[in-house]
Amino acid sequence: MIPLSWYLILSAALFSVGLFGVLSRRNAVAILLGIELMLNSVNINLVSFWRYGNVMHMAGQVFAIIVFAVAAAEVSVGLALVISVYRRRNTVIADEIDLMKW
Amino acid sequence: MTGEQITFLVIALATLGSALMVVTTRNLIHAALWLIATLFSVAVIFALLSASFLAVVQVVVYIGAIAILFIFAVMLTRKDMRDQSPQLNKNWWVGALLAVLTFGGLYTLLQGWSGLSRTVADIPSGFDAVAELGTELTSFTGYVLPFEVASVLLVAALVGAVYVAFNPRSGDIRK
């Protein structure tokens, strides 16, 4: 049997890797890749809590499905914004998108 | 150590290794392909947790739709991805420090939690998790409201993405 802590530690490590990607990549598409990693680690947490809690309550799996939907919406709008910025400013580097920087 | 644990350790190593490749590799197409490997490993983790429906949805939605969308976006913005320029910004060590601190904080938080020794419960015979999930998602005593809100969110995201990414110079839909 796999202890609950293994899943939680794996999820924490995956979240940290995604956080590193979000904070330190220059390309806006790569930042969105990091956000995907973080959302996946959250899903691992939710499903493992469902499995190790009361199996009859489906709240963990329902939450994971809502996270799927939110991730799909977030990615489609985010990539549309990146493509739109690339058309107008000809860059996808996050440092160079500084039109609103004061 | 049982076979289940060995499977978990192999899959966890594959997940973390491919996730590290996603955030460090120079070529963004390769990063998107490593993301597919990560997502597939997470699907195996869902299968280990006996969440069969979520494992399938992970493959269909994440790999089939989101990862392909990423590859399209990388291809559409490829010209700007000069491989000689650094892929990490100059404050990358702050990000690395924050990530390590987050992991350390979560780890120490977990060590002090009393529910960590909880053991896995047997799924009662005759209990169909997929059928139960479907009932919960569509019953008024369950989660029908978040389910409907999620579908409205997806429609709004679809309309917004089409509007934002639409190029008025190339198309003549608005004329």
Q: Is residue A10 part of a domain?
A: yes
Interface test with B, best of A61, A67, A70 (most B CBs within 10 A): A61
The reply to whether A15 falls in a domain is yes
B27 vs B11 pLDDT, higher one: B11
Confidence (pLDDT) at B175: 43
Query: Would you say residue B148 has pLDDT above 90?
Result: yes
In a domain, A55, yes or no: yes
Q: How many domains does one find in chain A?
A: 1
Q: Is residue A101 part of a domain?
A: no
Confirm whether A68 is domain-assigned.
Answer: yes
In a domain, A73, yes or no: yes
Nearest Cα of chain A lies from the Cα of B59 at a distance, in angstroms, of 11
- The answer as to whether A21 is a domain residue is yes
- Give B75→chain A minimum CA distance, Å: 10
- The shortest CB-CB distance from A76 to any of B92, B127, B161 is to B161
Q: What is the CATH number of the domain that holds A12?
A: 1.10.287.3510
Question: Which residue range is the domain that position A65 belongs to?
Answer: 4-96
Q: What confidence category does residue B92 fall into, taking pLDDT thresholds of 50, 70 and 90?
A: confident
Could you state, in order of their start, the residue ranges of all structural domains in chain B? 1-81, 129-175
Looking at residues B98-105, what average pLDDT do you find?
95
For residue A102, being part of any structural domain is answered with: no
Topology of the domain covering B1-81: Four Helix Bundle (Hemerythrin (Met), subunit A) (1.20.120)
- Name the least confident of A62-76, B12-26, B34-48, B116-130: B116-130
ipTM of the predicted structure?
Answer: 0.91
Nearest alpha carbon to residue B15 among B32, B31, B38: B38
Q: Percentage of residues in chain B with pLDDT exceeding 70? A: 91
